[in-house]
């Protein structure tokens, strides 16, 4: 069995999809599976420092494809980067993919499933789409595409066609699987494998955290946001809460990461003169445990319209770090439901900065509540979102494809331990109830 993973970013890139893809690839290689990666030559946040075209990383054969690298600054440059990577990936697959190979196409760049399906038609390879988000639905909800326009209609049709041709489409949540069912993608071609975080991430006590010392955050109560500053996220509620709490000397906001909205957030912090907000760049994987443990409580945000189409993967690192979370978004969505179920956080509506400020103040004043919710977060991670759980699920899925067993049925669940359908619907790929 050979696995060919296609995603624009791979280790040492530190973006969310890169971390997940790298984790899967390295985990499968450690099981003596032949793994090839097709990626670009640049990190998502650095289009000027090329990575080697070919290298072997812990048993993973990395092929970094020739594609443009204008970066994320403009739509035209980004479109050129997308299209050139599509073309390079299609050509490589057409030339090198063998009968029986399992090609896992991810969603960066968007619609990669279409390109891979077209380039491998009739080649005897098995295509698995790993859907980290659903495009073009995200673009439609963000008003990048007209909902009733011919472009959106055509892109939806092409995407659905490619998913129908795939052996399996892997999604991280029930909500995303439901969205695909509503588009007519058969449940028998959908497998739910929840995201995971690295098992090396463990809770670090504030007194033992070197980053808290380096960043002069040893004494305050730290409210953290760590990850992508993307279009799918909402930051005004966070900044409004920081404004309301600007005179609280014991509270600091720490924002770590980069992305589309980072510049806007920085400008708003300057405009409001928010001295209680600290900004730091995305941290290297080696410092992720300390970085995630700096915060006493983490904030997560997601626009409600995007709930079925995007999953904030930062949640799983927060669980691993044993920290409570406050979600800014829909109270009936996946993140809010998970926080309630596990007893590790609360939800406030977008725009309700006073409620967010009250939640933060309550946690600051109640160490017992923080500790209980943090312990619940770590328990949720140990129960359902350890890396070993995700790798076992993927291994069962891939072995089933390689040996010709039937694809997993989403309606019945799927057992990570055995790769067989679970008759009671409570298989380990499902979120615990």
pLDDT tens-place string over residues 268-296: 999 999 999 999 998 888 889 999 999 99
* pLDDT of amino acid 199: 85
420 pLDDT more than 50: no
* pLDDT of amino acid 10: 96
Q: pLDDT class for 236, splitting at 50, 70, 90? A: very high
Strand-pair partners of 202: none
- Average pLDDT of the chain is 90
**Residue at token pair 């946690």:** 363
Distance in angstroms (rounded) separating the CA atoms of residues 385 and 398 = 19
Who has greater pLDDT, 424 or 316? 316
Distance in angstroms (rounded) separating the CA atoms of residues 78 and 70 = 7
% of residues, the chain, pLDDT over 90: 78
Q: pLDDT class for 73, splitting at 50, 70, 90? A: low
Residue 246 tokens, joined: 């600007």
* Backbone phi and psi for residue 337, each to the nearest 5 degrees, phi listed first: -65, -40
Average pLDDT over residues 3-17: 93
Q: pLDDT class for 48, splitting at 50, 70, 90? A: confident
Q: Which of 142-151, 162-171, 287-296, 389-398 has the lowest mean pLDDT?
A: 142-151
Residue 71: closest CA among 92, 40, 100:
40
Rounded to two decimals, the pTM is 0.88
Average pLDDT over residues 333-362: 96
314 pLDDT more than 60: yes
Q: pLDDT class for 421, splitting at 50, 70, 90? A: very low
**Residue at token pair 């399996």:** 168
**Residue at token pair 């309606």:** 411
Average pLDDT over residues 63-91: 89
Residue 203 tokens, joined: 């809770």
Q: What domains does the chain contain, in order, with CATH numbers? A: 2-166 (3.40.50.2000), 206-383 (3.40.50.2000)
Q: Which of 71-85, 275-289, 417-431 has the lowest mean pLDDT?
A: 417-431
Distance in angstroms (rounded) separating the CA atoms of residues 87 and 53 = 17
102 pLDDT more than 60: yes
Alpha helix (H) residue ranges in 40-192: 75-96, 112-119, 137-141, 150-165, 174-182
Residue 189: closest CA among 171, 211, 172, 215:
171
Q: pLDDT class for 98, splitting at 50, 70, 90? A: very high
Using alpha carbons, list the distances in angstroms from residue 86 to 3, 35, 112, 162, 248. Answer: 19, 20, 7, 14, 50
411 pLDDT more than 70: no
* pLDDT of amino acid 188: 87
At 378 the three-state DSSP class reads helix
Average pLDDT over residues 79-104: 96
344 pLDDT more than 50: yes
Q: pLDDT class for 339, splitting at 50, 70, 90? A: very high
Distance in angstroms (rounded) separating the CA atoms of residues 346 and 340 = 7
Distance in angstroms (rounded) separating the CA atoms of residues 105 and 113 = 6
* pLDDT of amino acid 283: 87
Asked whether 404 and 396 are in contact (CB, 8 A), the reply is: no
Distance in angstroms (rounded) separating the CA atoms of residues 61 and 42 = 17
Distance in angstroms (rounded) separating the CA atoms of residues 402 and 100 = 7
Average pLDDT over residues 407-431: 36
Average pLDDT over residues 61-88: 89
Strand-pair partners of 6: 38, 105
Q: Which of 13-17, 92-96, 152-156, 346-350 has the lowest mean pLDDT?
A: 13-17
Residue 395 tokens, joined: 């291994």
* Backbone phi and psi for residue 290, each to the nearest 5 degrees, phi listed first: -65, -40
Asked whether 65 and 36 are in contact (CB, 8 A), the reply is: no
* pLDDT of amino acid 373: 98
419 pLDDT more than 50: no
One DSSP character per residue, 232-289 reads T---HHHHHHHHHTTT-TTEEEEEE--STTHHHHHHHHHHHT-TTEEEEPPPPGGGHH
Q: pLDDT class for 327, splitting at 50, 70, 90? A: very high
* pLDDT of amino acid 433: 27
Average pLDDT over residues 74-79: 82
Who has greater pLDDT, 426 or 183? 183
Q: How many CB atoms lie within 10 A of CB 111?
A: 17
Distance in angstroms (rounded) separating the CA atoms of residues 107 and 342 = 29
Report the chain's C-alpha Rg in angstroms.
21
Q: What is the longest distance spanned by two Cα atoms in the chain? A: 65
């Amino acid at each position: 069995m050979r696995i060919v993973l296609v995603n624009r970013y791979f280790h040492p890139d530190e973006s969310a999809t890169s971390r997940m893809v790298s984790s899967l690839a390295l985990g499968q290689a450690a099981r003596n599976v032949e793994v090839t990666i097709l990626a670009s030559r640049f990190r998502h946040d650095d289009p000027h420092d090329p990575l080697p075209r070919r290298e072997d990383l812990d048993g993973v054969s990395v092929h970094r494809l020739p594609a443009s690298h204008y970066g994320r600054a403009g739509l035209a440059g980004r479109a050129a980067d997308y299209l050139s990577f599509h073309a390079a990936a299609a050509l490589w697959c057409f030339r090198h993919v063998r009968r029986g190979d399992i090609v896992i196409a991810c969603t960066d760049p968007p619609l990669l499933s279409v390109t891979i399906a077209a380039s491998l038609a009739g080649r005897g390879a098995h295509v698995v789409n790993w859907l980290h988000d659903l495009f073009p639905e995200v673009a439609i909800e963000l008003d990048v595409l007209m909902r009733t326009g011919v472009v959106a209609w055509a892109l939806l049709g092409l995407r659905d066609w490619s998913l129908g041709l795939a052996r399996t489409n892997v999604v991280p949540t029930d909500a995303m699987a439901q969205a695909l069912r509503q588009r007519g993608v058969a449940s028998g071609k959908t497998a739910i494998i929840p995201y995971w975080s690295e098992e090396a991430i463990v809770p670090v006590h504030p007194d033992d955290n070197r980053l808290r010392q380096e960043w002069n955050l040893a004494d305050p109560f730290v409210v953290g946001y760590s990850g992508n500053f993307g279009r799918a996220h909402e930051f005004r509620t966070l900044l409004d809460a920081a404004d309301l709490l600007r005179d609280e000397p014991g509270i600091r906001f720490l924002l770590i990461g980069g992305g589309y909205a980072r510049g806007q957030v920085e400008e708003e912090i300057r405009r409001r003169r928010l001295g209680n907000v600290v900004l730091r760049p995305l941290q290297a994987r080696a410092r992720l445990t300390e970085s995630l443990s700096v915060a006493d409580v983490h904030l997560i945000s997601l626009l409600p319209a995007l709930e079925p189409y995007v999953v904030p993967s930062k949640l799983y690192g927060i669980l691993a770090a044993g920290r409570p979370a406050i979600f800014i978004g829909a109270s009936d969505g996946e993140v809010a439901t998970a926080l309630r179920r596990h007893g590790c956080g609360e939800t406030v509506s977008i725009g309700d900065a006073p409620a967010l400020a009250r939640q933060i103040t309550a946690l600051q004043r109640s160490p017992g509540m923080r500790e209980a919710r943090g312990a619940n977060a770590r328990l949720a991670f140990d129960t359902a979102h350890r890396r070993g759980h995700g790798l076992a699920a993927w291994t069962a899925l891939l072995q089933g494809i390689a040996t010709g067993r039937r694809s997993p049925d989403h309606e019945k669940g799927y057992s990570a331990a055995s790769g067989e359908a679970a008759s009671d619907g409570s298989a380990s790929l499902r979120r615990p109830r």
